[in-house]
Structure 1
Amino acid sequence: MRTARRHKRFKLKSEINVVPYIDVMLVLLIIFMVTAPMINASVDVNLPQAEAKALHTKDQPVIVSVDQDGKLYLTLGDSKKEPIDAEALKVKVGAFVKENPDVSVLVAGDRGGKYDGVYQVLADLQQAGVAKVGLMSTPESGK
């Protein structure tokens, strides 16, 4: 009878103690809440100027030009530059890239134009299914 009482008194618990896990989780949550605003802080970057090498491809690239007023022009392969609107740009470039997945798509923005025009073209090309887009520039003068 004495052994039965001893077994009741020293019975093992089969429960998981989750209090330490909750403590660790709360500490990590506080750390992430404090560091998250620091990650999104903007930093001024002064990029170096260099002369970029020209791109050499087999196929003629698709060139989307944005002028100073934000008007769009499209050049597909060897064809002439033609004015186009944003919806037609998505349809034409999307179809062209589906046929030729290896074709280069380049965006040429006017130096005096607004950044918003180029950004909108990049978003439209992404919606059209273009995976990679390059930005065109003119070579550095004076070298």
Structure 2
Amino acid sequence: MAKILIVEDNALNIKLFCDLLAAHGHEPEAVTDSRNALDAARNFSPDLVITDIQLPHVSGLELIQMIRGDDKLAEVPIMAVTAYSARGDEERIRAAGAQAYVSKPISVARFAQTVDELLAGRHEAVERV
């Protein structure tokens, strides 16, 4: 079971992500206000962070950069999710430090596969240390 932090301001997406993750045996925790996300991540110590990119207050890109700059969280894999995919978005999101990018509306199968791949990569990295 992995601890997965979800940063998302849309209640329906939060429910969908939490339900999917719980159905796959994970422990999801949702944060709706991106201003609280970094503190929530520090307190929750997630194995994976899933963040929307289009967030009020602190954007998903800013949040990814903040997580990458935090000693405790720098190695946590990040999956970015966004409804607005424009040319160059994936490159910007990956350059900020996210390992994966999924566009909305999400494919449930792709979402679950991406979560599994990111968690497997994290566990392999931990095992190599």
The alignment's TM-score, normalised by the length of structure 1, stands at 0.34
Q: Tell me which protein shows more helix as a share of its residues.
A: 2
Q: Tell me which protein shows more strand as a share of its residues.
A: 2
Q: Specify the structure having the higher radius of gyration (Cα).
A: 1
